[in-house]
Amino acid sequence: MPASLLTQAVRQGKFYFLVNAFICLVAYASYRLVQQYQESSASYVAVYAAGLMRIVVMIKWFDWIGTMKGKIFGEKRMQLTPEQCRSIWFRILWLAVPTECFMIFLTQRYGAPAKDEPLSWSSFPLEFLLFIPKSLVFEIIFDFFHFSAHWICHQVPWLYQHAHKRHHIHLHPCPLSTYEQDVIDVYLTNVTPYLFASYLGFSMSTFQLHLIFAYKTYVEVAGHCGLEIKGSSFPQFPWVNYLSICLRVHDHDLHHTHPKFNFAKRFSLWDKVFGTFKHGRPLEETKKHKSVPAAPAAPAAPVTPAPAF
């Protein structure tokens, strides 16, 4: 194997381990928190705390990544105001987290859970390996119903005006603005697809359910982070990208500037099937722009400087 390919393989392996170890740790923390208080009167508080922890940790993770990576559109990218930040954090507390609690409650109450055994370090590898194909089927089903609901929200003026418009007030989304949504929007494009995917897909153990929510939160926030990163929309098994169906940050970022394209959130599959997929700007294009030196300026006669804008 050539040294360059070996170096690339090692780099990709390190990236795969780092990302998935992080997501699995978040899932394990939420799992342990909920299990610890499962039989007590504080069980609902524990489920809420676990949901809030997942969202906060993922947002802060991508805020941290943003200190090391460039942003799509660079300095032209619009930032949230302090008032907008406070409003979205409050929306997370009263809408996003309670909605996740409701989804977990429905799954555990009416779903058909897989045979559940206490999680241990020895059982984790098998749990994760079984989770990969289960989550792939889950995400494909979820994405179909999300694509459908999202497309309808853009086609029906009343729905766009009263349900989905809030999410599009941010031309350049960021990790926090992932949760700038109205109630109707959340239930149409998130809860309903989740319920279909839960009941049409494979049954999952309690820990696998926490994995689903951890990966779901990670991919949702990643898709809105606006960063120049190469991550896959199916990080638990990025080799799925050999099927050319995984999305990148650029693809959903393009939806916010060109809302007639890229309605799916997990894969490009359904957008390609229905002819609404448009490639986001490739990372290589950014590298080319950075590597091309500026042409020397031609000498010019002195002029009076114009006032700054």
- pLDDT given for residue 6 in this prediction: 82
pLDDT of residue 112: 59
- Quick one: tokens of 6? 């070996």
Contacts of 303 (CB under 8 A, 6+ apart): none
Cα-only R_g, the chain:
21
Q: Residue 173 corresponds to which tokens in the numbers above?
A: 């989304």
**Per-residue tokens: 83:** 């008032």
**pTM for the full model?**
0.89
Beta bridge mates, 177: none
Cα-Cα end-to-end distance for the chain: 55
Measuring CA to CA, how many Å separate 299 from each of 30, 40, 292, 296? 64, 78, 21, 9
pLDDT tens for the chain, 309 residues: list them: 576 788 888 888 999 999 999 999 999 999 999 999 988 889 999 999 999 999 999 999 999 999 999 999 888 888 899 999 999 999 999 999 999 999 999 998 877 566 677 898 899 999 999 999 999 999 999 999 999 999 999 999 999 999 999 999 999 999 999 999 999 999 999 999 999 999 999 999 999 999 999 999 999 999 999 999 988 899 999 999 899 999 999 999 999 999 999 999 999 999 999 999 999 875 555 454 444 444 444 444 444 443 332
Amino acid (one-letter) located at 145: F
CA angle 61, 217, 275 (to 5 degrees): 115
Cβ(135)–Cβ(212) under 8 Å?
A: yes
Identify the pLDDT of residue 114.
61
Dist. CA 20–CA 141, nearest whole Å: 22
What is the rounded distance in angstroms from the CA atom of residue 309 to the CA atom of residue 305? 12
Q: What whole-number distance in Å separates Cα of residue 30 and Cα of residue 47?
A: 8
pLDDT score of 190: 98
